[in-house]
Amino acid sequence: MLELHIWGPSFTLPSISPQSLSAIAYLKLTQPPTAWTLIPSSNPLLSPSRELPALRDGTIWVPGFRGIIEYLRHKNGRALDDVLGREERADALAFGTYIESVGGRLLDLSMYLTDENFDVLRGAFAKLLPVPARYYVPGVLRREARRRSDGLIPASSVSATDPTTPLPLPSAMTAAALPATREKILAKATAERIKQTAIAANFLQAIQTRLGKGEYFFGDKPSSLDCLAVGYLSLGLYAELPNGWLREEMLTQHGQLCTYVNGVRGHMLGDGVDVVAVMSGQATVTTSSGQVVDGGLPWGIVEPQYVPQVTRFLLNRAMEMVGITSTGRDGSVRGEEEQTQEKKEHEKGMKSLQRWETAKNMAVVVGCIGTFIGYCVWNGLITMELGGRGKDKVAGGVTGGIGGRDDDGEKDAENEMELLEGFGSAEAILGLGDEVNKAFVRGVNEEEREGKGGFNQKSSESLA
């Protein structure tokens, strides 16, 4: 039996996620009630791609609305859009992508990025998630919503003050400056509210124009585009939030869309959902004939989320925040039979490339260290001794030498002798020790005689 894992119910809807709602609508239209079960696990760790919704068929996991449609088409040999023509299928794909992109960001802006609405959303997730995930997951989802909505509207709008909300009473010191400050705050809040409403109005008008007067987007039969539209529009219509600017826009300006959603909701999403009954497993009611009652959805038992699972989820998120990806998010069907030879060759090439990159980085590090040592030696920051004795011993021998000679000359002679002594075993091997020493002694004696002769000659000339 197929298992559809989703984010849990809220706002009388079977899920708090628009993608999960769209997947529910598609399976309800294409699969018999006894062929699948709905699991409000609210646990993305169950899917290898760590995202919901995810369809499980034995050992195979299929994440995402588009992936589920493609998998069911291959499995059953048919799809909901088979009744459409070629141009209509292309139109459904293009307009569905528009709904996922713009509609998703509008819901992010309304539910996650409006402060007072997000406080209500935290309470909804508290009924779906165990401790400590209920304190962490909403913040993660809000950061992802902020990333997806980047560029849609200025960031300052997410915490703008409602123009109808009175400001707190000022103190005596700020009373003089309050009128100008109040005008600025109200003007900013009004401008941002206008931007939000304008974006919502353009999106809703485009959908309403494409829907026209028909029961569905393509005549009298539903398509995958209807599943997407119902999933996203139902959250905007039925989610009662403190700052309900999106719901207000739908009710006051786009009544045709509200009629469309109300008309197809029971057929695609079932009746109103009792969150407590679903999460406690009391909403699972199926007759012997396969007819599903109590909301019209084949609810399954919620799998418990144990501490190790939640801990692994938190650890994976922490690793992602520092730039370490623990597992992939590739959205493909994970099964052993899907690991084709091409994928194996690609993985092998990626591992070889990683090894090459590692070796190259190590070579760069070693080269840098060697260059630094060479620079220090060249500039005298590091000295290298060639002899068996250190400079301190040579200096001690010089100071204890015979007096009457020039200290600098004596040091030079001793250093040269020390250098020659440093040849060590090389002298013995080559048989050059005696010859070198004799030549050196003859050179020193000749220099001393020349020095004495030059000194005597200079002294005679000075006396003359």
Cα–Cα distances in angstroms (integers) from residue 139 to residues 189, 243, 283, 317, 419, in the given order: 24, 19, 29, 11, 72
Of 5, 29, 34, which is closest to residue 269 (Cα–Cα)? 29
Helix axes 407-421, 391-399, angle to 10 degrees: 140
Any domain includes 309: yes
CA distance 47 to 111: 25
| Whether pTM exceeds 0.95 | no
Question: What was the pLDDT predicted at 304?
Answer: 61
- 378 inside domain: no
SS3 10: strand
> What CATH number is given to the structural domain containing 276?
1.20.1050.10
User: Hey, which residues does 4 pair with through a beta bridge?
Assistant: 38, 55
Number of domains, the chain = 1
Instruction: Evaluate whether residue 416 is within a structural domain.
Output: no
List 61's β-bridge partners, or say none. Answer: 56, 334
Kindly state whether residue 353 falls inside one of the protein's structural domains.
Answer: no
Residue 369: phi and psi, rounded to 5, are -65, -45
Residue 93 to residue 405: CA distance in whole angstroms: 101
Burial label for 320, CB within 10 Å (0-12, 13-18, 19+), is: middle
Q: Does residue 160 sit within a domain?
A: yes
Residue 452 lies in a domain: no
Give the CA diameter of the chain: 142
Is residue 243 one of the residues assigned to a domain?
Answer: yes
Q: What are the pLDDT tens digits along the chain (464 aa)? A: 899 999 999 998 999 999 999 999 999 999 988 899 999 988 888 888 888 999 999 999 999 999 999 999 999 888 999 989 999 999 999 999 999 999 999 999 999 988 889 999 999 998 888 877 888 889 889 998 988 887 666 444 444 444 444 444 444 445 455 566 667 777 777 777 788 888 899 999 999 999 988 889 998 889 999 999 999 999 999 998 998 899 999 999 999 999 999 999 988 998 788 777 787 776 655 444 444 554 578 888 876 654 555 556 556 655 555 555 544 444 334 444 444 555 566 666 666 666 666 777 677 777 778 787 777 777 766 665 544 444 444 344 444 444 444 555 555 555 555 544 444 444 444 444 455 455 555 665 665 565 555 545 544 454 44
Q: 150-163 as b/e, with b when 16 or more CB fall inside 10 Å?
A: eebbeeebbebbee
Does any domain span residue 349? no
**What distance in Å separates the CA atoms of residue 153 and residue 199, rounded to the nearest whole number?**
9
Q: Which domain holds residue 69?
A: 2-339
Cα 183 to Cα 13, 163, 186, 275, 435, distances in angstroms = 40, 10, 5, 43, 103
Residue 265's CB: how many other CB atoms inside 10 A? 20
Cα(66)–Cα(253) distance, integer angstroms? 31
